[in-house]
């Protein structure tokens, strides 16, 4: 691992991801929709999902890299971020979490009104699938179709949207740890897992590598949510860029409310360890960026 | 055209479409999301978009039909209907049209609450792309990717969602006929047009046929909206299955408010004539179902 500079690696990709998002989420969409979509997506966000896609693509390409692979990975990275962004816009709406602050800015419905926020979320979701199916491209159609399928399964009723439905139904309800884990595996984990898998697909990863990447993504995804629950009670709004203590105030079950703070921290560390084991079992060599991202998930303060 | 029985043709396909929707929009999704999705999609709806896909597939296959084409067309038909259904669920919400009646039933947010309605719409949109990318299938990946791309472009910021943004911004604003036509081409036309084109793609239509199918779809799509505007002032709620006079009450520009009722009727007839011309120029033979659907758009009472 000597010689790998994570800060430099992530800065370079963060710049490319921002540029790609800015060019793909353009202001052309009519009646202010384009500007509102850009407001929802640009200038903020940790871009963890895009970075996971790029890191996974790099790790899995193993020197077999082709020009279209970088394009496929960047499209997958941005598509995933658009799905994430759409879910935040809709989550923040008054009928859901009724949040007014996101990434330190007024939420989309506060800034543009509820009706426009609804459309922004809808159009961002659609744009994700548009990015994955460019009209002119060297990306093999089989890769395009597979990326669409993985993204749809991760974002839909059996993934993120399903997890949100469980979340909605669980207010004031006593879940056990398995139910909580299942909810979070859908709600947050599915997209992070999809990031790892889509990066692998974009790099045409060898079939024997895929199960390990899947395991890595699963463990990382749940760990992310456990840390989220911890930060909801320990962080301050300025560092987090959003309202804190919302889950407790809304009587939502969290790892912290269920296990207590110390046990939640132990759970996060256990999941991160699982992720590292999966990665070493993959037999892949260039996994430094994936390892660093996984470490960051545990250590992050926002 | 002797011997073609449109009623029989559409009954058979309507049955298959309902069966396919019922099996694909299953109740498995957690926390009541599946049931609410089924409520939004099943047992109602004219299924014009699915029928257009099937009619277009039949016309374009010209005896070169293969087993996977019917599967691709049925998936496209249902995916399109899911996009349509999601748009209705979100449109009916209090922050948009605030409608309480749809297809003679309480709207989804009335029945299941606003938060669930938001998730239902979101998950239906995702499911559309899941249907187009089956994990096991004989549909060539290039066809899958192309269908995803067409659907995304028709549903997104440059299509349906963009049209809705124009619609939102046009309340109380004086549009001219060109602006109104552009709004409706996006808002309603794009999906109907996509239906015709997706059916053609599912049948691997010859390249020289495609522009005519596109023209047919475009004319039909705008004609549908003109007739919608006419029905909003002439139909009664029982026949229409939804609240009438909403557009006028909401001070939304329509073909009727802009042109008057008679001129709107003339416009609808002109567009239907355009559609028929495009169809005859396509050189396709088995266009009876497409012709009948186009005639129905003009004659419909709901």
Residue A1 has pLDDT above 70, yes or no: no
Tell me whether residue B1 is in a domain: no
Output the 3-class SS for chain B: CCCCCHHHHHHHHHHHHHHHHHHHCCCCCCCCHHHHHHHHHCCCCCCHHHHHHHHHHHHHHCCCCCHHHHHHHHHHHHHHHHHHHHHHHHHCCCCCCCCCEECCEECHHHHHCHHHHHHHHHHHHHHHHHHHCCCCCCCCHHHHHHHHHHHHHHHCCCCHHHHHHHHHHCCCCCCCHHHHHHHHHHHHHHHHHHHHHHHHHHCCCCCCCHHHHHHHHHHHHHHHHHHHHHHHHHCCHHHHCCCCCHHHHCCCCCHHHHHCHHHHHHHHHHHHHHHHHHHHHCCCCCCHHHHHHHHHHHHCCC
CA A54 from chain center: how many Å?
13
Give the pLDDT band (50/70/90) at residue A253. Answer: confident
Tell me whether residue B16 is in a domain: yes
- Least Cα separation, residue A186 to chain B (angstroms): 10
Residues of A in contact with B132 (CB under 8 A): 148
Interface probe for A, chosen from B68, B97, B115, B136 (most Cβ of A below 10 Å), is B115
CA B124 from chain center: how many Å?
14
Q: What is the pLDDT of residues A81-96, one digit of tens each?
A: 999 999 999 999 999 9
- Please name the residue of chain A whose CA is at the shortest distance from the CA of residue B186: A30
- Nearest Cβ partner of A116 from B153, B168, B170? B168
Tell me whether residue A1 is in a domain: no
Tell me whether residue B216 is in a domain: yes
Q: Structural domain of residue A226, as residue ranges?
A: 6-299
Tell me whether residue B236 is in a domain: yes
Q: Report which of A170, A192, A183 is spatially closest to residue A83, judged by C-alpha positions.
A: A192
Report the number of distinct structural domains present in chain B: 1
Q: Tokens 């947050």 sit at which residue?
A: A188
Which pLDDT value is given to residue B174?
Answer: 83
B28 interfacial to chain A (CB closer than 8 Å): yes
Query: For the whole model, what pTM was predicted?
Result: 0.95
- Do the Cβ atoms of B282 and B56 come closer than 8 Å? no
A204 interfacial to chain B (CB closer than 8 Å): no
Residues of A in contact with B123 (CB under 8 A): 156-157, 161-162, 165
Distance, in Å, from the CA atom of A241 to the CA atom of A104, rounded to the nearest integer, reads 4
Q: What is the pLDDT of residues A12-66, one digit of tens each?
A: 999 999 999 999 998 888 889 999 999 999 977 899 999 999 999 999 998 888 8
The Cα-based distances of B156 to A123, B84, B86, B160, B165 in angstroms read: 5, 12, 13, 6, 11
A119 interfacial to chain B (CB closer than 8 Å): yes
B175 interfacial to chain A (CB closer than 8 Å): no
Tell me whether residue B211 is in a domain: yes
- Least Cα separation, residue A252 to chain B (angstroms): 15
* CB contact set of A217 (below 8 Å; sequence gap of 6+): A52, A189, A192, A193, A194, A195, A196, A197
Cα torsion A60, A62, A67, A70 to 10°: value is 30
Asked if A156 lies within 8 A of B123 by C-beta distance, the reply is: yes
Asked if A121 lies within 8 A of B122 by C-beta distance, the reply is: yes
**ipTM of this complex prediction, to 2 decimal places:** 0.94
b/e code A153-186 from CB counts within 10 Å (16+ = b)? bbbbbbbbbbbbbbbbbbeeeebeeeebbbbbbb
- Please name the residue of chain A whose CA is at the shortest distance from the CA of residue B150: A130
Q: What is the pLDDT along chain B (302 residues), one digit of tens a residue?
A: 457 999 999 999 999 999 999 999 988 888 899 999 999 999 778 999 999 999 999 999 988 888 999 999 999 999 999 999 999 999 999 999 999 999 889 999 999 999 999 999 999 999 999 999 999 999 999 999 999 999 999 999 999 999 999 999 988 888 888 889 889 999 999 999 999 999 999 999 999 999 999 999 999 999 999 999 999 888 765 565 566 666 666 677 889 989 999 999 999 999 999 999 999 999 999 999 999 999 999 888 77
Residues of A in contact with B118 (CB under 8 A): 90, 93, 95-96, 118
Q: Tokens 């759409």 sit at which residue?
A: A86
Which pLDDT value is given to residue B1?
Answer: 46
Q: What is the CATH number of the domain that holds A211?
A: 1.10.600.10
- Please name the residue of chain B whose CA is at the shortest distance from the CA of residue A97: B115
Tell me whether residue B219 is in a domain: yes
- Please name the residue of chain B whose CA is at the shortest distance from the CA of residue A34: B157
């Amino acid at each position: 691992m000597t010689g790998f500079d994570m800060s430099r690696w992530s800065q370079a990709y963060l710049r490319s991801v921002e540029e790609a998002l800015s060019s793909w989420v353009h202001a052309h969409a009519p009646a202010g929709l384009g500007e509102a979509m850009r407001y929802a997506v640009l200038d903020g966000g940790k871009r963890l999902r895009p970075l996971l896609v790029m890191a996974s693509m790099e790790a899995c390409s193993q020197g077999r890299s082709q020009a279209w692979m970088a394009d496929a990975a960047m499209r997958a990275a941005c598509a995933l971020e658009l799905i994430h962004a759409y879910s935040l816009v809709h989550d923040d709406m008054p009928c859901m979490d009724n949040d007014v602050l996101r990434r330190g800015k007024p939420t989309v419905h506060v800034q543009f009104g509820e009706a426009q926020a609804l459309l922004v979320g809808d159009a961002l979701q659609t744009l994700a699938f548009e990015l994955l199916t460019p009209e002119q491209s060297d990306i093999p159609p089989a890769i395009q179709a597979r990326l669409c399928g993985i993204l749809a399964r991760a974002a839909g009723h059996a993934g993120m949207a399903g997890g949100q439905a469980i979340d909605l139904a669980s207010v004031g309800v006593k879940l056990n740890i398995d139910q909580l884990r299942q909810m979070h595996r859908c709600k947050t984990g599915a997209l992070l897992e999809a990031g790892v898998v889509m990066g692998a697909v974009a790099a045409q990863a060898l079939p024997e590598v895929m199960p390990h990447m899947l395991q890595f993504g699963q463990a990382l995804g749940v760990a992310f949510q456990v840390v989220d629950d911890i930060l909801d009670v320990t962080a301050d709004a300025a560092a987090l860029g959003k309202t804190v203590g919302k889950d407790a105030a809304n009587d939502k079950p969290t790892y912290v409310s269920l296990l207590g703070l110390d046990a939640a921290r132990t759970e996060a560390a256990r999941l991160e360890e699982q992720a590292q084991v999966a990665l070493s079992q993959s037999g892949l060599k260039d996994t430094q960026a994936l390892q660093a991202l996984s470490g960051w998930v545990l250590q992050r303060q926002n």
